[in-house]
Structure 1
Amino acid sequence: MKKVIYALILPLVVAGGLVFANCEIKNDTSKKSTQKPLSAAEMKAERERWEATPAGIKYKQWEASPEGKKVLAGAAKIRTHISNFTNMEAVVTSLSLPPGSRLGFGVMARINGEDYILSFGPEKSDWDFLNFNNEFQQLHSLKVDDKIVIKSHSVSHAPKYSYPIVSGDYVERDSKIIYKRAPRKGGC
């Protein structure tokens, strides 16, 4: 009987040791792979190296094109509102994003006469056995020509899109908050 128990316990001990040893190896490699931040000169050299690649050349051509200049001017137009996280009045112009976009849920909005993509990110739903919770639920009630107030922390652009992309962090309609991005867990 003792031999049978030892025969069953021995493989468990060996397997546990292997799992523990494997975790230690993974932790060591992850510590070694972290890099220190690049200096300004190194960043400039990396950027120049990237600009010489086909993707970098294509981006620079887009940046110099009339469409690229229009997108960059639109982004610059709201840069002060973005950096100060102040209110921007907008009108919803479309409830769908341009065809082929991969920005998740969003709408098109006009701010100060310019069109922008107002992106909220991928739609996630939390299933609970009693209810269905969707963080964008109230945003789905928006209609074309609704007047909203937006606050955002970032505006970006990409050659794929003909409009600047505003990240929706706060949306208000008729003085009622309909969306406020939850702060990220575990840091910045």
Structure 2
Amino acid sequence: MKTIIYALIATLVVVSGLVFANREINNEASKKSASKPLSAAEKKAALRKWEATPDGIKYKKWEASPEGKKVYASEAKIRKHIRAITDMEAVVTSLSLPPGSRLGFGMMVRINGDDYILSFGPEKSNEFQQLHRLDVNDKIRIRSHTVSHAPKYSYPIISGDYVERDSKLLYKRAPRKGGC
């Protein structure tokens, strides 16, 4: 009887030791992964370091070029609508993206005389089924919360959040799960 009790106690000690040791390992891992955000000075230093790399130099040259200035000017024209997430009138100019683009599904649109890439992201099943029915010269209303640019493209890139034609909803981006 005593040996059974000793065996049970020994087993309990070993198991609790393993549980305690595993908890310490998990705590150390969570402390390492939860690093504090960079300060403004650290961000500036990292940006200066990146600008000295070949990619950074190439990007700065693109920004100063006429093509880069044109992209920034086009972005400035729609910035008010992007910040307020309001409707913009657009005309579809092409149903495909520029050659070599890796933006997923998208199209070219013209807003107030400037061309833009309207990108929706990777194509999933039937998510963009209504958008495939659009034709060149169709007038649409779009809303977006983001406009970006890249030296690879001669146009600003608008992230498509909402598209309608003739007051009929064609696409609305689903809200992020678990995000802001």
Please indicate the TM-score interval, normalised by the length of the shorter structure. Answer: 0.7 to 0.9
Instruction: Give the residue type in structure 2 aligned to 1:56.
Output: G
Matched, 1:141 2:141: no
**Deviation for aligned residue 1:124:** 1.3
**Deviation for aligned residue 1:41:** 1.4
Q: State the match for 1:109 in structure 2.
A: 109
SS of aligned partner of 1:78 = helix
* C-alpha separation in 2, matches of 1:24 and 1:182: 40
Instruction: Give the residue type in structure 1 aligned to 2:130.
Output: Q
**Deviation for aligned residue 1:26:** 6.5
The 5 Å alignment of 1:114-129 reads 114-125=114-125
Q: State the match for 1:4 in structure 2.
A: none
Q: State the match for 1:100 in structure 2.
A: 100
SS of aligned partner of 1:29 = helix
* C-alpha separation in 1, matches of 2:58 and 2:132: 36
- Residue 168 of structure 1: which of 152, 160, 174 is its match? 160
SS of aligned partner of 1:63 = helix
Instruction: Give the residue type in structure 1 aligned to 2:145.
Output: H
**Deviation for aligned residue 1:76:** 1.2
Q: State the match for 2:61 in structure 1.
A: 61
* C-alpha separation in 2, matches of 1:25 and 1:110: 56
Report the TM-score when normalising by structure 2: 0.84
- Residue 151 of structure 1: which of 143, 156, 171 is its match? 143
SS of aligned partner of 1:159 = coil
* C-alpha separation in 1, matches of 2:35 and 2:177: 23
Alignment RMSD: 2.0
Q: What are the Cα deviations for residues 127-146 of structure 1, in whole angstroms up to 9, with x where unaligned?
A: xxxxxxx1111011010000
Q: What are the Cα deviations for residues 63-83 of structure 1, in whole angstroms up to 9, with x where unaligned?
A: 000111111111111111000
Tell me the number of residue pairs that the alignment of Structure 1 and Structure 2 aligns.
163
The 5 Å alignment of 1:37-56 reads 37-56=37-56
The 5 Å alignment of 1:4-15 reads none
SS of aligned partner of 1:81 = helix
Q: What are the Cα deviations for residues 102-153 of structure 1, in whole angstroms up to 9, with x where unaligned?
A: 000000000000000000000112xxxxxxxx11110110100000000000
SS of aligned partner of 2:158 = strand
Instruction: Give the residue type in structure 2 aligned to 1:166.
Output: I
**Deviation for aligned residue 1:31:** 3.9
Residues 29, 118 of structure 1: alpha-carbon distance in 2 compared, 3 angstrom cutoff: same
Instruction: Give the residue type in structure 2 aligned to 1:39.
Output: S
**Deviation for aligned residue 1:45:** 1.1
Q: State the match for 2:85 in structure 1.
A: 85
Residues 156, 27 of structure 1: alpha-carbon distance in 2 compared, 3 angstrom cutoff: farther
Report the TM-score when normalising by structure 1: 0.81
Q: State the match for 1:187 in structure 2.
A: 179
**Deviation for aligned residue 1:34:** 2.7
**Deviation for aligned residue 1:30:** 4.7
Please identify the structure whose Cα radius of gyration is greater.
2
Structure 2 residue runs without a partner (length 5+): 1-17
Instruction: Give the residue type in structure 1 aligned to 2:50.
Output: W
